[in-house]
Chain A
Amino acid sequence: MVSNLIKLGLGSLSVLVVFSCQPSAEHKNSIVKRTTDSCRYYRYNVGQIISNLGCKNCHVSFNVDKIDVYGITTWRGLAAMDSLKLIDYAFTKKHKGWYSKNGDFKTARMDTLSDCEIRSVIRYIKDFGRDIPMPSQ
């Protein structure tokens, strides 16, 4: 009886181990997603997006401080932000609605940017803070 109970227990355990070692469907999907991600970072194009949005008109890029004399976060200040905070700060709910469809800057709506473009813009900003030199030839 005891022996049967032990056998049953060990059997259940091995079934559990086998199932727990199988990748879940969700995990498999995430692998597929990662390998098919076609978002490619191209610095020049991102620079054009930033130029067209006019980000650096307010968030000046050459200021050594993180906040300028007008209380506006500089480019360096943006680069020092955590990426998630940066997305929230720049794209989600900040800019006081200026870039929304009824805002002051409605002609350059940020919500028309694709997810890839947003990620690329974030990388462009973060690269500035990482002090990566610009290579030439």
Chain B
Amino acid sequence: MTTDLVHAISANLAILQNQPLSGGIVAKNLHISDNGSGELSLYGDFTITLKVLDLTTNGAPSLNNLMTFTQQVMTAKLRGGGYKGGIRTFKYNSAKNIFDKSKNWTYSIRYNFNFIVNVIQISMLNQLKGNDFVLAVVDSIGHQFTDQYGRRQSSGGLTQGEGGPATVSYNSWKKNKYIGVHEFFHTLSLDDIEDPDKKNRLMYHLGDNSGQIISDTERGDIFDFIRKYLGDITKVSQSNINLNTVNQLKTFLNNPINGFKFNKTRFR
């Protein structure tokens, strides 16, 4: 009986291991190099997939163009690797390829990550898995916020924090093609910027942008987030952890504070 159970578990594990990894982030060929002087170099090939769910009432004829644009911008912004110093974490044991949870260490990390970005449209919730990234396109967003000057501002997009679902109002997206990327970069951990001397940044969010730059620090923050979001960077292949995206999206869309207007019959 016990032997049968062990065999059954082994068989299931084998099936799981042979299944291709899926989710918002799929990483392959991961490896770590330690220079012995406090710098780790991380290597890997990543595929980031953002699934776009059209929930507009009257359809979104420009959606394909906006998705293509978003994919191109994301690819460009994530290109070129990154560097982040002063990362306080656990000591890396290169002989065992593990992070020793009993020893603290401060590292600089050089990220040599290559990215392929896919922005694809889905029409049904069953095309959304627990660890997928999602951008829902809605008719409008009622949520307002107060900026640092005390002015009330309306929202063209809204994201539920790191790893969470993102939304964008279709009409706002048509007016500002960068909102899709801006919102998704919230999912990848970046914060909004309101500094008047940083209007040239993609994460500046008061509408009068003079550019869409991602700083080296921000790219380092994104890569740092991805490193942690994968769970175990010491494995050769990894996918991001499961956060039950469908449930999160459902809760987010139905939260009255956010004031989303969308076609509820398309949320199925």
Contacts and interface: CB of A to CB of B under 8 A. Distances in A.
Interface in B191-230: 191-195, 205-207, 217, 221, 224, 228-229
Given A44-B193, A44-B194, A104-B104, A133 B228 contact: no
Interface stretch (A12-20, A24-32, A51-59, A113-121): A51-59
B192 to A, nearest CB: 6
A133 B143 contact: yes
Interface residues of B, number: 51
Nearest to B172: A137
Nearest to B157: A136
Contacts, number: 109
Contacts of A61: 161-163, 189
Interface residues of A, number: 31
A134 B88 contact: no
Given A44-B195, A54-B89, A58-B89, A137 B228 contact: no
30 contacts: A47-B191, A53-B88, A54-B86, A54-B88, A54-B89, A57-B224, A57-B228, A60-B228, A61-B161, A61-B163, A62-B163, A62-B229, A104-B105, A105-B104, A107-B86, A107-B106, A128-B161, A133-B160, A133-B161, A133-B258, A134-B160, A134-B161, A136-B186, A137-B153, A137-B154, A137-B155, A137-B157, A137-B179, A137-B205, A137-B206
DSSP majority for the B interface? mixed
Contacts of B189: 61
Contacts of B144: 135
Interface of A: 40, 42-44, 47-48, 51-54, 56-58, 60-64, 70, 98, 104-105, 107-108, 128, 131, 133-137
A136 B192 contact: yes
A56 B154 CA distance: 30
B205 A136 contact: yes
Contacts of A56: 228
B92 interface: no
Contacts of B224: 51, 57
